[in-house]
Structure 1
Amino acid sequence: MLEDGRIGERVRYWRLRRNLDRKQFADMVGRSTSWLDKIESGERDLTRLPMLERVAEVLDLDPSVLTDVATAKRTAQCVDATEVSAIRTALAHYPGVTVRSSDEVALPAIQRQADYLDHAWLASHFTVVARHLPALMRDAQTAVLTMSDADQVAAHRVLVTAYRLASSMLLKFEATDIAWLAADRAMHTALAATDTWSLARASRSVARAMASTHQRREAIAVLVDMTDRMRSEVNTDEHNLLSLYGMLYLASSITAAEQGDASLARAMHDEAMAAALRVTPHHDSHFTLFGQTNVLIHRVSALVRLHKAGNALEFAHTIGPPAVRALPPERRANYLLDLTEAHTAVGKYAQAARLLGQAEQTAPEEVRCRPLAHGLLRSLLNNTRGEPAKLVKQMADRAGVAA
Structure 2
Amino acid sequence: MDSIQFGRRVNYWRTRRRISRADFAALMGKSLRWVEELEGGRRQADPNWSVMVLAARHLGITVDRLMSEVIDTECAGESDIEAVRRVLQRHDVITGSFDRSSTEPHPVQALRRSLAYARTGFQAGHFAQLGSELPKLLVDAARAAHHHRGDDRLGAYEVLSLCLELTEAAAIKWGDSQLAVVAGHRAVTAAEQSENPVTMASAARHLGDAMTNHGEAAAAATVVLAAARRLEEDLLHCGPDGYSVLGMLYLKAAMAAAAAAEADDRAPARFARRVPDYLDEADEHAARLGGDENRLWTSFGPTNVSLYRVASHVYLSEGADAVAVAAGIPADAFNELPRERRAHLLTDRAIGEKQAGLREKAVDTLLEADELAPEEVRCRPRTRWLVEDLRVLGVRSAEGRLRMLADRCGLPR
- Give the TM-score normalised by the residue count of structure 2: 0.79
Q: After the TM superposition, which of the residue ranges 250-259 and 13-22 deviates more from structure 2? A: 13-22
Equivalent pairs counted in the alignment come to 349
1:136 to partner: Cα distance: 0.6
Letter in 1 for 2:281: E
User: What is the distance in 1 between the residues matched to 2:250 and 2:299?
Assistant: 14
The reply on whether 1:238 has 2:239 as its aligned counterpart is yes
Are residues 333 and 202 of structure 1, via their aligned partners in 2, closer, same or farther at CA, if it must alter by over 3 Å? same
Q: Normalising by structure 1, report the TM-score.
A: 0.80
Greater alpha carbon shift after TM alignment, 262-271 vs 146-155: 146-155
1:51 aligned residue: none
Query: 2:89 corresponds to which residue?
Result: 92
The one-letter amino acid paired with 2:249 is: L
The alpha-carbon distance between structure 1 residues 77 and 284, as it changes in their structure 2 partners (threshold 3 A), is closer
2:121 is paired with a residue whose SS is: helix
Structure 1's 321 and 41: CA in aligned 2 closer, same or farther, altered over 3 A?
A: closer
CA contact (8 A) 2:351 2:362 kept: yes
Aligned to 1:55: none
Q: CA RMSD in A?
A: 2.6
Shift of the 280–391 alpha-carbon distance from structure 1 to 2, 3 Å rule, reads same
Q: Does 1:248 align with 2:258?
A: no
* Superposition deviation, residue 89 in structure 1: 1.4
Q: Which stretches in structure 1 are left out of the alignment for 5+ residues?
A: 1-9, 23-39, 43-72
Q: How many angstroms does 1:92 deviate by?
A: 1.5
| Structure 2 residue 321 is matched with structure 1 residue 319 | no
Between the aligned partners of 1:92 and 1:194, the Cα distance in structure 2 is 25
C-alpha contact (below 8 Å) 2:225/2:250 kept by paired residues: yes
Distance 1:159 1:193 in 2: 9
Q: How far did residue 235 of structure 1 move?
A: 2.6
Q: Who wins on radius of gyration, i.e. which is larger?
A: 1
Matches within 5 A, 1:207-218: 207-218=208-219
Distance 2:384 2:245 in 1: 31
The answer on 1:16 being equivalent to 2:18 is yes
| Counterpart residue type for residue 365 of structure 2 | L
Structure 2: distance between partners of 1:350 and 1:225: 42
Which residue does the alignment assign to 2:411? 401
SS in 2 for 1:286: helix
User: What letter corresponds to residue 200 of structure 1 in structure 2?
Assistant: A
Q: Percent identity?
A: 28
Q: Is the 8 A contact 1:153 1:193 kept in 2?
A: yes
Q: Shift in Å at residue 275 of structure 1?
A: 0.5
- CA shift digits 1:308-352 (9 cap, x unpaired): 111212222322122111111100001000110011112211100
User: Aligned pair 1:109/2:106, yes or no?
Assistant: no
Q: Is this contact kept in 1: 2:318–2:355, CA < 8 A?
A: no
Query: Compared with structure 1, are the counterparts of its residues 378 and 316 closer, same or farther at alpha carbon in structure 2 (3 Å cutoff)?
Result: same
Q: Return the letter of the residue paired with 1:371.
A: P
Indicate conservation of the 8 Å contact 1:279/1:291, yes or no: yes
Q: Unaligned 5+ residue runs, structure 2?
A: 1-11, 25-58, 62-70, 262-270
The yes-or-no answer on 1:279 pairing with 2:289 is yes
Q: Which moves more between the two structures, 280-289 or 143-152?
A: 280-289
Question: Residue 157 of structure 1: CA displacement?
Answer: 1.2
- State the distance in 2 between where 1:114 and 1:350 align: 40
> In the alignment, residue 142 of structure 2 is paired with which amino acid?
Q
Q: How far 1:245 sits from its partner (Å)? A: 0.5
